[in-house]
Structure 1
């Protein structure tokens, strides 16, 4: 009986059947800065791979052909083969993984030697290439060049297909190393890359699909040709995509507007906010996000000019809660409009280099812990000041992360800790990543309750604004986020050129069904006020276009 138990234990361990329900972030041997952390976490959360009973993942353990069969059939959710034409002589129905191995053998995903599957043999890189290329129908263009894989190599078509589809680029020395074995971390990375992006994209006009293909560039190029075309991701076995930007119901935001209140903008009176709240009898923005980008002599974002210490952060808090400042003025304007609104207040980016100086003059290195403490102090101080202010017409619902990207492992940990701190205080946490932001697809893992992608297509004289907008709305669908609509603070001589850009944003908002979902609105420092108050046709037209969103 003991021998049977040991055999069963070995089988279970080889497939990771004894596993924790936690994600990769909790595996003892896959720390946050592990090179394959995100990929392992993704596949673990999707229940494609599992850890061991010791709360380890064992990333360096060599993957067998049997293990690979189990993983890929889980990922693709492939059904059992009812009438197999291929019957490897070394497989038996009583074997662990028999069903999965029979599936991939009959789909031609593996090479059989003398009709043997060799379940316990290591999976090599060339066999992995064949498995993924056949499974996902990847095609190459015979353009890849690896020093150790000639075009006459029997596995070249599969390796070329993975290279063409950005699943692998080989080693830095220009080799592919086709006969090297693959470990659990490596296979997790390759398989995860398959699901980094949708496998297919469709282009629609008036609800009808006019194109379906693998190339996102091809889909966007086609959509740009038609005023009524939209681009959408196609769901697959692991990923389900929406066909419009997300509602972001966790944020409570339907229509939010960004209000700058750092040194870059003057303090505003209550009359400033009137056109943000109502147009005739129509209610407009329900959420106001206050953010300070600069202080005297520096910036609060992640830039070389960020040398902000507790003194500068405290200055910004004082400015925000100034009784004659913009926040107090908004409270008065909201009362005059007979409304209530939600408020998000920004959290500056704590500098990552040099020394942090506290209010009492004490100094400490800008370590991750010191930065976490700075953010925690800020949230506690803001919460206290909000409570003392006693605003009757506004509710503080959350915080806005000022930085527009999460660029390294330390910042990943910082943002995750900040999210936990925000949530402990029963508040929401959002951000608005720019169009080239790194790690945007991980926003939910970091603990954000909402993300609002910036298309960054509002600059004058761009060559491809339509393509940028299609790409942003597509990314919002893929990553389940909202969108930030944008217009700059155009002067009168810029407005004639700026209006078509803004109209394009509004058109995209309507055709991608953003209206009624959840959006943020970037308006420079005061563009909506200008729209409503400058008596010039382009400004008036822009304001009317804006109000069509509500």
Structure 2
């Protein structure tokens, strides 16, 4: 009797498990597998690749991946100028769960990974909602053998962000992929994985609202900021040369009203010819730049005197101009930057030599030193008509 009862209980449990399993099995059966929706379709470039590394119209969707040899015909190459975009029309709205783009790096011939690859979707091909801005995972311009890298947005891992926190797929007809171009950028394939129709966790992505930055807390109160180059052999700024930027002047050069309320000083090249934006300038270059702009009659003092003079002539002696100073790019290649922390060892920024973590820590030392130097020197000089408003990270850096 007990044995029959146990057998009955076992049978009931088995039946319950089957019943629980059936909906899951049916759901898995009904759920379509993702496929590459871009396979074999056409697309539109914002700007055609270089003729020597051109695109016949199907390189990005023909399923042919390039080797690490840049002359492989599978690659399409773009040279400098503006950020490139490529737009795909899927024909109708579909569920998009993964977008990936494949790039080449060969620093020996000037080909670098994009600093950033961005991915968007749209319902009309005009208004776009961003899915991701993806930085390079690999060191750019590293002196290592040629390699390739995928930039990937994966909805199951990355989601739709602010658009729909719980969604894993975007419902859209158009896909746009953009990438920055430093020197040469080579791309061979872009894949858009998804399914036809609209799935359970598929949501439509709202188009981004595009607008100019409004003055306020995010801008430090600045309304109009002018960038003034104070390097590249251009010499130092004088009070008279600065006057037409901070004030509207007449033909005689006399101030009539205030103009830019913010001034950004930036230099691309050091006096020794090293590049502040690409990470070739060393500690001595960084120091020389600071010495020059903070000098007794340097750019900052000249600006301060220009504001004083304009304030007197305009009857507004209390007016101040906000100042933003540049942040040099430490870069990824220097092995002998200089000793910024006094430990007797030069800072090495080359991750291929000392590893990514150590290189990153050394770059942090250099950046911290720069910020501390600016704050300290600014405090010592006491520019009465200037306000230090920020530090500008203008380079395409990986630090």
Relative to the length of structure 2, the TM-score reads: 0.47
Q: Specify which structure has the higher proportion of strand.
A: 2
Larger-gyration structure (1/2):
2
Q: Specify which structure has the higher proportion of helix.
A: 1
Q: Specify which structure has the bigger relative contact order, considering alpha-carbon pairs within 8 angstroms and separated by 6 or more residues.
A: 2
Relative to the length of structure 1, the TM-score reads: 0.35
